[in-house]
Amino acid sequence: MSLINTEVKPFHATAYHNGEFVQVSDADLKGKWSVVFFYPADFTFVCPTELGDLADFYPKLQEMGVEVYSVSTDTHFTHKAWHDASDTIKKIQFPMLADPTGVISRNFDVMIEEDGLALRGTFVINPEGEIKVAEIHDLGIGRSAKELVRKIQAAQYVASHDGEVCPASWQPGEETLSPSLDLVGKI
C-alpha cells in the first residue's frame, strides 16, 4: 500500500539540533509543511553530500514555511559527534533525528531489516500531517535538494489552488492544468 495521502504514524525521538538534544514527535510535523529525510548512516559517503546539499537549500525551505527533519538509525550522540567532526555536517541547522530502534524508519517503510539501516527516503508532509510526496532511493543513489524544493513548490501550489495540477517539470509562475473533459487527448 502506498503511503501517499496517509497520515504520519506516531513517533517520539531524540534529535541533535543547534547544539542541543531535543525531543521531536509526529505532533511537531503538524501545522506546517515538513520534509522527513531518511539516510542510511552517519560517517559515510553519499549521506554527507546529500545532507550538505539539503543544508544549502534550508534557508529557501524555511522561506517556504517548510521544516526539515533528517533521520538515520544512528543515536543522537552519533549525530552530535558527526556534526562536530565534519565541516559539511556543521552546516546543518535542521533537527537530526535518532532512530536507533527503527520505529520511524519502519513507519515510513524504508527500513532495511537485515542491515538495521534506512533507505534514502524523502517524504513531504502537508500541515495536516499527510504524506504528499514519497521518494525512495537505493543506497548508492544520491538525491537533489533543488528538485525537492520544486516538488514542494508544486505540492504547495496544488494544495492552495483547488482543481489545478502541475505538469512535468513545472516551475512557479508557469502554467498549470485544470483537468477536464476538454483536455482529454489534447495534451
Which residues have C-beta within 8 Å of that of residue 26, sequence separation ≥ 6?
Answer: 8, 9, 10, 11, 129
Catalytic residues: 47
pLDDT > 90 fraction of the chain, expressed in percent and rounded: 95
pLDDT band of residue 186 (cuts 50, 70, 90) is confident
pLDDT at position 160 is: 97
**What digits encode the pLDDT tens for the residues 133-153?**
999 999 999 999 999 999 999
pLDDT band of residue 184 (cuts 50, 70, 90) is confident
pLDDT band of residue 20 (cuts 50, 70, 90) is very high
| Strand 120-125 versus strand 131-137 pairing type | antiparallel
Q: Looking at the predicted structure, is the pLDDT value of residue 75 above 80?
A: yes
| Strand 66-72 versus strand 33-38 pairing type | parallel
The SS3 call for residue 133 is strand
**What digits encode the pLDDT tens for the residues 91-131?**
999 999 999 999 999 999 999 999 999 999 999 999 999 99
pLDDT at position 1 is: 75
Q: Is 105 within 8 Å of 38 (Cβ atoms)?
A: yes
pLDDT at position 187 is: 80
pLDDT at position 155 is: 98
